[in-house]
Chains A and B, each alone.
Chain A
Amino acid sequence: MTLRIGAGSAWWGDRISPAALNAEKGDLDYLCFETMAEATVSAAQVRKRRDPSFPGYDTWLDDRMRAVLPACLKRGTKIVTNQGWINPDGAAQRIVHWLREFGARGVKVASINGGLITDRVLELTDTILENGQPTSTLAPSLVSAEVYLGAEPIVEALRQGAHIVVSGRVADPSIFMAPMMYEFGWDALDHVRLGRGNGLGHLIECGAQVTGGYFADPGFKDVPRPWDLAFPILEVEADGSAVLTKVEGTGGIVNLMTVKEQMFYEVHDPANYLTPDVVVDFTTAHLEQIGPDRVRVSNISGKPRTPTLKVSIGCTEGYIGEDMFFYAGPGALRRAKLARQILEERFKLVGLDAEELRIDFLGLNAIHGAMTPPDAAEPYEIAVRVAARTTTREEANKVGREVDGMAVSGVGMTGKRVPHQDRTREIIGVWSSLVARDRIVPSITMIES
């Protein structure tokens, strides 16, 4: 038996049509969605506090489900998704709504809870991994805390007959591996197969990043029709080897280069990639191009899982004020430099109290900053971009206000836009800690359409 698992999204803002394409043309047994970034849960908590009508799940849930459910129902494709964010039950109910809209009755939808530990995090955790301080130091600014769950609760939900499983935070690769564990009957302690499965999950968790996205570099790494990328599909065997591919006839490319780049993406030690389920060792992997857009992946290794789970702790940490304005043509850089001097003096005059202030010349040094070669060519156009991190909103607002002043009180030939968005934003800092595995007990709720 070959299990066909497709990616439906790699992050919240991802394109939706490739998910629909995978549902319609991918002949999938499972379609899996990853929609969360590091700060997603905390940002959702902040939004929920401000706007009680915010349901707390993926804001694209309706669009994604409408796009894929008809084809998934027709093919019998099951769905595993972390679109539940801080409200998996609400997401499940909404999915049931759409199932009924499409005339599907008796379809089981499971929601997984138990990973949100905001009210218990200070008793369950000890040390902040990033700075060695006790997690109790975060108490005054704590917004949210969640555990990275593994594949096990998803597998249990599938065992209970779920056709669709919706969770909050689950480690990205685990979302994609859970169907392998369930369908092939892999044991939760079988680190050999789970290593392979989690490794495979890692390869497709970022969607198009393995099918030609975040990859093209003209003349060096060319990608056919990069405007029409497909999301990846795994054809997995019971031993945990697989072929990584995509729907035929789409743009993009699957080759040894795309797979290697994705293999190391967000990985530190490639021999010890920690997930809740297993420790993955990519260093033993064999990759083979066996056909156009078909790469065979085998021999990824695994080591027994650690006794702890990772906890992500979101905290309010002040504000960032940010804005920009523009120069072009001969002398753009000298005018930009004078503008920078004016801003620096203005910030002294208005007493800006910033933890960090940064004034860049976008087009010259805004991205690589201090690494920019001193002899870099002067660009034809430059944006002066200013950002400050502050402890209060009032201080951060000074950035936008001083940029406003550059309109009529600044430098000659300044391009200036009317502010089209709030130029001050709240920072949610994310910290990590560990919790003993046995202190976390996920729960499953099953509803039916």
Chain B
Amino acid sequence: MKIRLERAAHCRSGDKGNTSNISVIAYSPELYPFLKEQVTAERFRQFYTGVVSGKVTRYEVDGLHSLNFVAEGALGGGVSRSLCLDNYGKSLSSRILAFELDIPDQLTSLLKGND
């Protein structure tokens, strides 16, 4: 079944200069392989088109069922130079919550929220 990522994972973004890192953390270990398989660096970058101007690197932390995306050129030139109201990009992580994830029906009970 297709779900929004927000039902399978939680996120947080942090800033360093002009780079934003966005963690995507599975709500349960069983959901993690589907995140790892589908939320690739390339698809992540496409999802942030128009905001992330540089390279996206994905780090995998299998032991903690987490992905960490490092998006360069995501903060409008850097926190102090950015013209974005959210100049720290604190709300950037919420964008990936809308990512469409395909998971097996039998994992439905592990999901948060409702469609």
Q: Do the beta carbons of B63 and A387 come within 8 Å of each other?
A: no
Measured between C-beta atoms, what is the minimum distance from B54 to chain A in Å? 11
Minimal Cβ-Cβ distance residue in B for A42? B80
**A99 on the B face (CB < 8 A):** no
Q: Do the beta carbons of A219 and B113 come within 8 Å of each other?
A: yes
CB-CB under 8 A for A388 and B95, given A261-B10, A371-B48, A371-B49: no
Interface string of A384-407 (1 = CB under 8 A from B): 010111000000000000000000
Measured between C-beta atoms, what is the minimum distance from A5 to chain B in Å? 22
Q: Do the beta carbons of A130 and B17 come within 8 Å of each other?
A: yes
Bin chain B's interface residue count: 35 or more
Q: Which of B1-31 contact A (CB under 8 A)?
A: 6-7, 10-12, 14-19, 21, 23, 25, 27
The CA-CA distance from A428 to B87 in the complex, in Å, is 14
Residues of B within 8 A of A271 (CB): 59
**A102 on the B face (CB < 8 A):** no
Q: Do the beta carbons of A282 and B84 come within 8 Å of each other?
A: no
Q: Do the beta carbons of A267 and B51 come within 8 Å of each other?
A: no
**B64 on the A face (CB < 8 A):** yes
Q: Do the beta carbons of B21 and A428 come within 8 Å of each other?
A: no
Residues of B within 8 A of A284 (CB): 63
**A266 on the B face (CB < 8 A):** yes
Q: Do the beta carbons of B10 and A257 come within 8 Å of each other?
A: yes
Partner of B66, one of A260, A367, A387, A389: A260
**A358 on the B face (CB < 8 A):** yes
Residues of B within 8 A of A447 (CB): none
Q: Do the beta carbons of A265 and B59 come within 8 Å of each other?
A: no
Question: How many A residues, CB 8 Å from partner?
Answer: 52
The CA-CA distance from A387 to B76 in the complex, in Å, is 12
Q: Do the beta carbons of A270 and B50 come within 8 Å of each other?
A: no
The CA-CA distance from A388 to B76 in the complex, in Å, is 12
Q: Do the beta carbons of B86 and A267 come within 8 Å of each other?
A: no
Residues of A within 8 A of B50 (CB): 369-371
Q: Which of B78-115 contact A (CB under 8 A)?
A: 78-81, 83-86, 90-92, 94-95, 98, 112-113
**A444 on the B face (CB < 8 A):** no
**A39 on the B face (CB < 8 A):** yes
Q: Which of A220-268 contact B (CB under 8 A)?
A: 220-221, 257, 260-268
Residues of B within 8 A of A388 (CB): 83
The CA-CA distance from A38 to B17 in the complex, in Å, is 8
**A449 on the B face (CB < 8 A):** no
Measured between C-beta atoms, what is the minimum distance from A332 to chain B in Å? 18
The CA-CA distance from A108 to B70 in the complex, in Å, is 43
**A432 on the B face (CB < 8 A):** yes
**B68 on the A face (CB < 8 A):** yes
The CA-CA distance from A362 to B91 in the complex, in Å, is 14
CB-CB under 8 A for A428 and B80, given A219-B112, A270-B61, A371-B50: yes
Residues of A within 8 A of B85 (CB): 360, 362, 366-367, 385
Q: Do the beta carbons of B113 and A220 come within 8 Å of each other?
A: yes
Q: Do the beta carbons of A356 and B83 come within 8 Å of each other?
A: yes
**A285 on the B face (CB < 8 A):** yes
Q: Which of B25-45 contact A (CB under 8 A)?
A: 25, 27
**A214 on the B face (CB < 8 A):** yes
Q: Which of A119-167 contact B (CB under 8 A)?
A: 130
Q: Do the beta carbons of A268 and B21 come within 8 Å of each other?
A: yes
Q: Do the beta carbons of A268 and B91 come within 8 Å of each other?
A: no
Residues of A within 8 A of B94 (CB): 368
Q: Do the beta carbons of B95 and A285 come within 8 Å of each other?
A: no
CB-CB under 8 A for A220 and B68, given A366-B85, A371-B95: no
The CA-CA distance from A282 to B78 in the complex, in Å, is 26
B27, B70, B78, B79 pick with most chain A CB within 10 angstroms? B78
Partner of A267, one of B14, B92, B113: B14
The CA-CA distance from A387 to B92 in the complex, in Å, is 19
Q: Do the beta carbons of B21 and A266 come within 8 Å of each other?
A: yes
Q: Do the beta carbons of A264 and B95 come within 8 Å of each other?
A: no
Residues of B within 8 A of A90 (CB): none
The CA-CA distance from A263 to B25 in the complex, in Å, is 11
Q: Do the beta carbons of B70 and A38 come within 8 Å of each other?
A: no
Q: Do the beta carbons of B68 and A264 come within 8 Å of each other?
A: yes
**A320 on the B face (CB < 8 A):** yes
**A3 on the B face (CB < 8 A):** no
Q: Do the beta carbons of B51 and A368 come within 8 Å of each other?
A: yes
A-B contact list, 14 entries, CB within 8 Å: A214-B90, A261-B11, A265-B21, A266-B21, A270-B68, A285-B63, A356-B83, A367-B84, A369-B51, A370-B50, A385-B85, A388-B83, A430-B79, A432-B17
Which of A's residues lie within 8 Å of B, judged by CB? 38-39, 130, 214-215, 217, 219-221, 257, 260-271, 282-287, 317, 320, 322, 356-358, 360, 362, 366-371, 373, 385, 387-389, 427-430, 432
Closest 7 CB pairs of A and B: A370-B50, A266-B14, A264-B23, A261-B12, A358-B83, A387-B83, A265-B14
Extra inter-chain contacts (9) besides given A260-B23, A356-B83, A366-B84, CB under 8 Å: A38-B80, A217-B6, A219-B113, A260-B25, A270-B61, A320-B83, A362-B85, A368-B95, A370-B49
